[in-house]
Chain A
Amino acid sequence: MKARSQPTEERQVESGRAPRQSMLQAFRQDHHMIELVTRPHRSNLIRFAAEHPDLLVLGADLTASCEADGFRDQYPERFFSFGMAEQNMLGFAAGLAREGFFPYIHTFSVFITRRPFDQLAMSIAYPNLPVRMIGFLPGITTPGGVTHQAIDDIALLRAVPNMTILEAGDATEVESVLAVAQTIDGPVYVRQLRGEVPRLFPADQPLRLGQARHLGQGTDLAIISAGICTEEAINAVAALRSRGVSVSHLHVSTLKPFDDPQLLEQIAKARHGAISIENHSIIGGLGSAIAEQLAEQGIGKRLIRLGLRDTYAHGASKPYLMREYGLDAAALIRAAETLIGESLQIDDIALAKIAANIRTEAQGETLAKADKTEDL
């Protein structure tokens, strides 16, 4: 379909979409105001460790940066510092796991997945040991630049046999992901969030292994989001609905195994196709996993993969990078327009209005502060 600059009411009715409503109306129907939670992992780790006496935490000079300082102070005999030496730390974790302990490695994602990849594959993954690798600063969530931005971690670890990959998308998932990881007989890699984390999902609806969250029904488009991109997708879906586009929205938190039938069912129903959005390279992550399944199942729908387009990023603020690299609500709207074949007349101001209603201005300030003062 060719893009059209001026869609008419008639055309929208013809195409069977819901009548227009205001973006805020649409948003408020589905969501409450979003609460920001301060360092949910820090307190949850202490709570969780109290119930699991065989849980040990291994750190590599990023203990407070990975919110494990509370655990260290509470359980000093269960905390082990390994300094900046991740290859050795992963080996120690493997040895401890062979003896029946549950090592929870805490460091930045890049230092789990890039630097000690051979150790991860041979010492931990091959023997299927229950090491839990809690990786922080996934994707472009850090101004620390290319060395600190894990944009290829999912791709690398999806290729590792025995590996389970989980990604937290909000405070509720940050608080519930450890319990899911602990049930798994084998190694688990978690893309974890730190600092001020929005609560998008009710606290009593924890992350469930292998189950996407179905956040909205629709038959024009399917949007599949993960991690921090889900909040952007919520904004975009509200905007699209206000233009009468019927959108199915799914949030994915289990990236491997990747076998939730809901995803293909919703994409198959979407007349114009699907959009995936992820805080990762478009090669090897969520979008690739969906594409593989669509092809194998013979589902002939278009799929636009949003994410880093085979490029590294650089050091800057999260909102800037999300905009710059097309991981935000505006990028989703553009992709939706491409699939539908017409302009939906949703400008930045309209999107900003929706986003502003998700978070109060005060919360925005807290966030900006947290971004600037983080330990790297």
Chain B
Amino acid sequence: MNAQPLQTGQQATSAQPPSPSPSPSPLTVEAVAAGIRRRVLEHTLRNNGGYLSQACSSAEILATLYLRVMRLGPSIAPLIPRAFAGVPSRDNPNAFTGAGYNGPRASELDRFIFSPVHYALVLYALLIELGRLGPDALEAFNTDGSTVELIGAEHSPGHELTAGSLGQALSQAGGIALARRLRGETGRVWVFMSDGEFQEGQTWEAFAALAHHRIGNLGVYIDANAQQCDGPMTDVMTIEPLADRLRAFGAEVHEVDGHDSEALAAPALARLSGSGAGTGATPRAVTATAPTPQHQAEPAPTDRPLVVIARTDPCRGIELLRERAPKLHYLRFKTPAEQDAYEDLLEHWQDSSSQ
């Protein structure tokens, strides 16, 4: 699998100029992001409910990660998602994870860790847009016995961890990144998080540990849409100033427009080119004889976790959603008239997406 060409990666698309209009290539961030919004809207209508605002806020972040940031091999998982094969246990050899949709495991390839799994529908829609999942995969969404679950778990397509208890994935990603460093692997670990997860104490424990153990082969993209279940985060529990807090915890932090793929990709690409030959990790075998220095002065820039705070609009691309503000977490239609308005939006999708 090491010989397989990378299906995605910055080499393929980094030369492309920013283009506001639909691009001739089917795999631009803009086209994929628009496809995500359309699919999630369609699905929300079919099910009278869905996490629509998450698609609006995160579509460009996720598309940028898959198209321009992460080095992933082609999917090794079936286009039609497998049925649930039982929970993991020592008596169940059939249990699997959905990581195969992100390609094989290999030393030089990256890993994707999806933390706010309430965004599962958005990830499924993305995988379909990228051809990693079949176009009909969403028909199994939230149906009994399916792995295409409402709130994703490790068996769900594109998922590797069971992260539904929010704020737990970053620590696990840290363990994976540490293990990869111990084995001298050059691939990185990318974590997608939501801003609400920065209310959990564990997230800050994790950043302290990432900095302390100089885990530089890990990057975090945060969908900072400032929304959560109870409403605007500023009312529920503020996390700002997030960038300052994260810098104080030892991370390299960039704050960008979360709908601008150039701005989103730039910090990751800079880190790759700045650390030479695409390796941000300092390979260190676990059998090394020299003790780890415990109290060096300042970690090298490439030994810090990379954080991109993507400031996003939870109604981006679907203006109709603004009428529901400030409660945007989960969309369920309140009246037939409201549903009709969204149906109408979907019917005229081409017009609305080429605003």
Contacts and interface: CB of A to CB of B under 8 A. Distances in A.
A91 B171 contact: yes
A118 B208 contact: no
Interface stretch (A34-42, A76-84, A289-297, A298-306): A76-84
Interface stretch (A98-106, A172-180, A214-222, A317-325): A98-106
A91 B287 contact: no
Contact of A95 (B154, B178, B202): B178
A91 B202 contact: yes
A92 B202 CA distance: 11
B201 interface: yes
B332 interface: no
Interface string A167-190: 000000000000000001110000
A119 interface: yes
Nearest to A77: B288
A252 interface: no
B41 interface: no
Contact of B209 (A82, A100, A123, A162): A82
B168 to A, nearest CB: 5
A126 B175 contact: no
B89 A162 contact: yes
B99 to A, nearest CB: 10
Interface in B195-243: 201-202, 205-206, 208-209, 212-213
B165 A127 contact: no
A80 B172 CA distance: 15
A29 to B, nearest CB: 42
Nearest to A118: B165
For A94, A100, A161, which residue has the most chain B Cβ atoms within 10 angstroms?
A: A94
A54 to B, nearest CB: 8
A91 B88 contact: no
Given A53-B287, A88-B171, A126-B88, A96 B179 contact: yes
A162 B175 contact: no
A54 B176 CA distance: 14
B90 interface: yes
Size bracket, chain B contacts:
35 or more
B122 interface: no
Nearest to B290: A77
A77 B291 contact: yes
For B161, B205, B286, which residue has the most chain A Cβ atoms within 10 angstroms?
A: B205
B14 to A, nearest CB: 30
B73 interface: no
A76 B284 CA distance: 13
Interface in B150-188: 154, 161-162, 164-165, 168-180, 182-183
A84 to B, nearest CB: 9
B209 to A, nearest CB: 5
Given A118-B165, A127-B154, A83 B89 contact: no
Interface string A17-61: 000000000000000000000000000000000000110100000
A88 B90 contact: no
B210 to A, nearest CB: 9
Nearest to B285: A77
B89 A119 contact: no
A235 interface: no
A93 interface: yes
A227 to B, nearest CB: 25
B200 to A, nearest CB: 9
Nearest to B287: A53
Nearest to A92: B175
A91 B179 contact: no
Contacts of B88: 126-128, 162
Nearest to B153: A126
B13 to A, nearest CB: 30
B286 A78 contact: yes
A161 B171 contact: no
A92 B209 contact: yes
A162 B170 CA distance: 23
Contacts of B175: 91-99, 103
B178 A96 contact: yes
B171 A77 contact: no
A330 interface: no
B292 interface: yes
Contact of B182 (A92, A101, A119): A101
B164 to A, nearest CB: 8
A146 B173 CA distance: 34
A94 B170 CA distance: 11
For B172, B183, B201, B206, which residue has the most chain A Cβ atoms within 10 angstroms?
A: B172
B176 A119 contact: no
B206 A88 contact: yes
A87 B171 contact: yes
B87 A126 contact: yes
Contacts of A93: 175
Given A76-B291, A95-B173, A186-B89, A100 B179 contact: yes
A10 to B, nearest CB: 56
A85 interface: yes
A100 B75 CA distance: 22
Contact of B179 (A77, A99, A119): A99
Nearest to B189: A95
The 8 A-B pairs at the shortest CB distance, nearest first, are namely A95-B175, A91-B171, A99-B179, A88-B205, A85-B205, A76-B291, A92-B175, A95-B176
29 contacts: A77-B286, A77-B290, A77-B292, A78-B286, A80-B178, A81-B212, A85-B205, A87-B202, A87-B205, A88-B171, A88-B205, A89-B209, A91-B168, A91-B171, A92-B175, A94-B175, A95-B175, A95-B176, A98-B172, A98-B176, A98-B179, A99-B180, A101-B179, A119-B168, A119-B202, A126-B87, A127-B88, A127-B162, A186-B89
Interface of B: 87-90, 95, 154, 161-162, 164-165, 168-180, 182-183, 201-202, 205-206, 208-209, 212-213, 284, 286-292
Given A88-B202, A123-B171, A185-B90, 15 more contacts: A77-B289, A77-B290, A87-B168, A88-B205, A90-B171, A91-B168, A92-B172, A94-B175, A98-B175, A98-B176, A99-B179, A100-B179, A103-B175, A162-B89, A184-B90
Interface of A: 53-54, 56, 76-78, 80-83, 85, 87-101, 103, 118-119, 122-123, 126-128, 161-162, 184-186
